[in-house]
Amino acid sequence: MKHLILFLVLFSIISCGSPAKKQQNIIDTDTPDSKKLKTEKPLIPKGAISGKFNGDNGAFYSYVKNVDLNKGVTTIAFENDTFPEIFIPKSYGASLDTLKLKGISQDILFATVKLKDTNFNKYFLYRLKNNQWKPVVNGFAIHKSHRPDTLRPIRIDPQDSTKVIRYYSVFDLDSSSESSYMWKLLQETIPIENN
């Protein structure tokens, strides 16, 4: 009797563990035709931003491809390696954004760059022209005391949308301060030509 009960228990465990052939057909619904319909989305790198950097020729993404901490160079690359990479010297990482200016049919690439001196961030604007990335303005830096996390370092001039207002920090001697110097926040308006 013990052997019969043991046999029945083992038989029920084994028969429950493997599904019937009909169940396998129901579970396995991948046919050659259904596999063709499945499309994989391309992987977009973390931190990538998309923009119409080439005018009306469609959007593509830009991303920080590499940060060489030994040489201090940040590399910015583009979707499908369509355009040349941008190498930013004396930099230790970056975050990217776009800027749209009136009268210019393309987006401008805006890079916020980390420097060796972590008291500053540096900012760069690039524009795609003749399949090359050209700086729109010289890079400019803002000291952390000027709260660059809440300050918009560059913005469109409300009086003239073909110009930008940029902020930057300068070293200023100040005998009234404890350290005898301070960082002063200045601003300037720069025209952006559409050529």
Say what the pTM is: 0.72
Tens of pLDDT along 132-182? 999 988 899 999 888 877 888 888 888 987 788 999 999 887 666 666 678
3-state secondary structure the chain: CHHHHHHHHHHHHHHHHCCCHHHHHHHCCCCHHHHHHCCCCCCCCCCCEEECCCCCCCCEEEEEEEEECCCCEEEEEEHHHCCCCEEEECCCCEEEEEECCCCCCCCEEEEEEECCCCCEEEEEEEEEECCEEEEEEEEEEEEHHHCCCCCCCEEECCCCCCEEEEEEEEEEECCCCCCCEEEEEEEEEEECCCC
Tens of pLDDT along 91-111? 999 999 998 877 778 899 999
